[in-house]
Amino acid sequence: MIEQMDETIEILLVDDRPDGLLALEALLSESKKYRLTMAQSGQEAYELLEKHDFAVILLDVQMPVIDGFQTAELIRRNPLYQQIPIIFVTAINKDDRYIYRGYESGAVDYIFKPFDPIILKSKVAVFADLHLARRRVRWQALELSRKEALEHKTYIQSLELEGLKRYQNLADAIPHMVWKAGPDGKIEYYNQIWASYTGLKLAQDKETNWQHCFNAHDLKLLLEAWKDAMATGANFESECRIRRHDGVYRWHWIKAVPEKDAEGKVIAWLGTCTDIQDRKNTEKDLQTAQKAAELANQAKTQFLANMSHEIRTPLSAIMGFTELMADPQLPEEERQVHLSIVRRNGHQLLKIVDEILDISKVEAGRLETEIVETDLVDLLNNIKSLLGVKASAKGIGLQFQVQDKIPDRVWTDSTRLRQILINMIGNAIKFTHDGEVTVDCGYRMDDEGKSFLRLEVQDTGIGIVRETAEKLFAPFLQGDTSTTRVYGGTGLGLALSRQLAKALGGNVWLESSEPLKGSNFVI
């Protein structure tokens, strides 16, 4: 009978203040899968580690006798506890040097009081899930080992007690490939599972014919391991890809043990081949997911670096010109010029903040739209006037062309539509140095009889290479870091425009682009 794995996740809460422990317990006790253990000192917490398998430790920094930093260092010095994640929970010491000290002490994260319940539970859940996943892998490995040991024992007992025929019937009934080889490695027997899988018969497998069913690289490693085992009389195992009768290769775990006589001489090799393709697929999926998470983390790190620059630039201008305006001797004419610069940079700063808020709403699924009757012609004229000044300042043209008859009024979210058009057309102007930006406007009807607005934004700018085009609409990414340095921007414009368009029942995509010749985006 196979025992069920206990999926209860143990969490250690450490705080010298009972009210602090109660607050953490109240939040985390909502999950039935958590078992919470509480300690009111670092020494008590350390003693509890020997009796429990904690998935994560929530550790208060400020405690008498030994504080959180000292407790974390004590835990990390013991090799048995080095892998337990520690999250510091504190209401003070938000200064960078204290945070760095926390990480040096072995913490993986900080949560500052008063903490956000959602953030706290999310962070705990991440480490709880990782701990449970590792436990499942260990459990599965143990169960597999137990199962194979039982199968092997049954196999040997049947061979001794029931004779060769009973052994063959049993081997055929086992859902694994079972084989027997002589002391020199020549195959003497395969069960029916091998024959069904490979499509070969024992007569075809004598000598070394069976080797043709193995991947050449894996076969070389298998034979090397077997050769070493022959020299020592030890067990051996290997992972190999074996070709199925339809030509498909699947991963198998091959494990073999020597059968010895009373004098310890190897008289045969008994082995099994277990299909582990599903496990390999799971490992690959985990690696892919980990790589994707790492790339996403790198992207957000780069985004934060870009944002600090983008926010600092207008903020520095605002602060600098505000200081100049504080001079009572400053002529009124210069004061007005400075005031205009402050106002312009303030609007730029507001735009950056609005983009961040909007993309946050999109990722949280809280983006709202308000569909109202909108004067389309007036909206387009307004955008042309607004962005025409920007285009003229760069010495390029901005043309709006109506390819089809468009209605004067439509039902849409005018604010979001305006935001999309300003983003897309503004982007085209930003990346165009010579020539012009053209906006083609049309009104179409799809196969279901629904009418929709279609706009094509064409420019004669720097264009986009294929590799860059694939990640254009990913949040927090621009074409590459050099684009950010030269042109600036948050990297949110295109991603936000697509999400806003989808919220209005449409889409945004790159129709075509050629480096140094321009791009064509469709809204």
| Residue-wise pLDDT tens digits, 108-158 | 888 888 878 888 888 888 888 888 888 888 888 888 888 888 887 777 766
pLDDT score recorded for residue 486: 47
What's the DSSP call for residue 480?
-
Q: Which tokens go with 293?
A: 């998470």
pLDDT score recorded for residue 315: 83
Q: What number of other Cβ atoms are within 10 A of residue 62's Cβ?
A: 15
Distance CA 95, CA 439 (A): 51
Q: What is the 3-state secondary structure (H, E, C) of 240-285?
A: EEEECCCCCEEEEEEEEEEEECCCCCEEEEEEEEEECHHHHHHHHH
- For 316, 326, 334, 341, 345, the CA distances from 330, given in Å and listed in that order, are 20, 8, 7, 15, 21
Question: pLDDT under 70 in the chain at which residues?
Answer: 1-3, 92-98, 157-173, 202-208, 299, 302-303, 305-310, 363, 475-491
Dihedral angle sign, alpha carbons of residues 326, 331, 335, 338? negative
pLDDT score recorded for residue 485: 47
pLDDT score recorded for residue 56: 92
- E strands within 61-95? 86-90
pLDDT score recorded for residue 146: 84
**Dihedral angle, C-alpha 390, 393, 394, 399, nearest 10 °:** 60
Identify whether the C-beta of residue 39 lies closer than 8 Å to the C-beta of residue 48. Answer: yes
- DSSP bridge pairs for 240: 252
Q: Which tokens go with 403?
A: 């390819």
Q: Which tokens go with 466?
A: 């294929």
For the chain, the distance separating the N- and C-terminal CA atoms, rounded to the nearest angstrom, is: 61
Identify whether the C-beta of residue 457 lies closer than 8 Å to the C-beta of residue 512. Answer: no
Distance CA 280, CA 282 (A): 5
pLDDT score recorded for residue 58: 92
Identify whether the C-beta of residue 403 lies closer than 8 Å to the C-beta of residue 416. Answer: no
pLDDT score recorded for residue 479: 47
Q: Which residue has the tokens 């004419």?
A: 333
Q: Report the number of secondary-structure helices (H) and strands (E) in the chain.
A: 15, 17
Q: Give pTM, 2 decimals.
A: 0.42
What's the DSSP call for residue 115?
P
Strands 518-522, 509-514: parallel, antiparallel or unpaired by DSSP? antiparallel
